[in-house]
Amino acid sequence: MTLEELKKSGSIIFECISGSRAYGLQTPTSDRDIRGVFVLPKEQFYSLDYIGQINNETNDIVYYELRKFMELCSRNNPNILEMLNVPEDCTLYKHPLFNEIKKEYFLSKLCENTFANYAFTQIKKARGLNKKIVNPVEKERKTIDDFCVIRTDKRAIKIEDFLKEKSLEKENIGLAKIPNMKNCFNLFYSKSSNYKGISREGANEVCTSSISKEEQPIAMLYCNLDGYSSYCKKYKEYWSWVEKRNDERYKSNISHDKNYDAKNMMHTFRLLHMAKEIGKDGTINVRRNDREFLLAIKNAEYEYDDLVSRAEEMKEELELVYHASDLLEKPDSQKINSLLISIRNEHYTQNG
């Protein structure tokens, strides 16, 4: 089922604007995120074609099937729980059946860990971005040859320098593995032996050739396969990040020169503050009353280490808050199952 098909199906029971616009933290360049809940048509629900989620490629628009939505609420997933208390100006559509799903059924002491763990994941992401900013990977991709060195004349030199120094052609080289020496090869040279050279284009390892017994190696080649594998992974991750990154956000992050993703740090404290409010008051405050403080973080007005120290203090404070909290230890799965069945049956009754 596509997003277009979903919207025509009459299966949606809730739809809202989420993210920064719901938190009241939006800027002129903020995206418009949409979240929703739908009830899968009866035929599909009872078939093998169960669909738990429908979204667009960028996940700016995501709809959860009723069962998955309530399952995630039961786990006290922060991004899902907030849908139970979205500000009215961000609620696009709400079927009366959705009103039966009350936050009191789900809020529990599990929130201490789910919110805090998610918050500290944001801290890691905030610092992780710096690695990409200050350690860019060149667009021109290296080959396996760049990870080969030659041991000759009591020294180790790059294969490219060796060939240039000896005036040798790469295609006339033959390699043979050296037993009991990992990634080490005897290097032979001949213009008449049809050797395979060092590697083929796009190969992940060097080529070996058939070498006659009378031939003598002129050097030993070492291929750093582990280094090449690590480089390939880093190259893929970096250029995938470049392709998907939000350029406005990227420019903002490098302009403040604080070496962290300020937006991720902002969400760290939003989550910690929300967790405290849930533990103390049993409520989910989506629209933030700490907006100025959070936007100051987003504008990189604080140092990374100071924010981490604050976050650690808040995490310790949460332990005391939740120890004294009247919240459920965990959601009542039997009650939630009954509610899920009731809503689904009522929806199917209303829709034939």
Domain boundary (194, 229, 264) is at 229
| pLDDT given at position 343 | 96
Question: Do the domain assignments include residue 76?
Answer: yes
Q: Judge if 158 and 221 occupy the same domain.
A: yes
Supply the pLDDT for residue 93.
96
Q: What is the rounded CA–CA span in Å between residue 333 and residue 137?
A: 49
For residues 86 and 159, state if they share a domain. no
- What is the predicted pLDDT for the residue at 248? 52
Question: Backbone phi, then psi, for 333, in 5-degree steps?
Answer: -65, -35
Q: Are residues 88 and 7 in the same domain?
A: yes
Report the domain count for the chain. 2
Q: What is the DSSP string of 205-272?
A: S-------TT---SEEEEE-HHHHHHHHHHHHHHHHHHHHS-HHHHHHHHHHTSSS-HHHHHHHHHHH
Q: Is the pTM of this model over 0.85?
A: no
**What's the pLDDT score for residue 282?**
93
Structural domain contains residue 277 = no
Same domain as 65, residue 152: no
Q: Domain containing 224: what range?
A: 144-229
Asked if 90 and 7 sit in the same domain, the reply is yes
Residue 282 lies in a domain: no
In a domain, 74, yes or no: yes
Asked if residue 69 is part of any domain, the answer here is yes
User: Is residue 208 in some structural domain?
Assistant: yes
Among 197, 229, 261, residue at a domain's last position? 229
91 and 179 part of one domain: no
Tell me the three-class secondary structure of 117-160, residue by residue.
Answer: HHHHHHHHHHHHHHHHHHCCCCCCCCCHHHHEEEEECCEEEEHH
User: Does residue 56 lie within any of the structural domains?
Assistant: yes
**Taking Cα atoms as reference points, which of 156, 186, 190 lies closest to residue 170?**
190
**Do 155 and 67 sit in the same domain of this protein?**
no
**Domain co-membership, 92 together with 159:** no
Whether 84 and 163 share a structural domain:
no
In a domain, 33, yes or no: yes
Identify the domain boundary among 214, 229, 244: 229
6 shares a domain with 84: yes
Q: What is the pLDDT along the chain (352 residues), one digit of tens a residue?
A: 888 889 998 899 999 999 999 999 988 777 889 999 999 999 889 898 899 999 998 889 999 999 999 999 999 999 999 999 999 999 999 999 999 999 999 999 999 999 988 888 777 666 655 455 556 778 889 999 999 999 877 889 999 999 999 999 999 999 999 999 999 999 999 998 899 999 988 888 999 999 998 899 999 999 999 999 999 998 888 777 666 655 555 545 444 556 677 888 899 999 999 999 999 999 999 999 999 999 999 888 888 888 889 988 998 999 999 999 999 999 999 999 999 999 999 999 998 6
* Whether residue 18 sits in one domain with residue 87: yes
> Do 159 and 80 reside in the same domain of the chain?
no
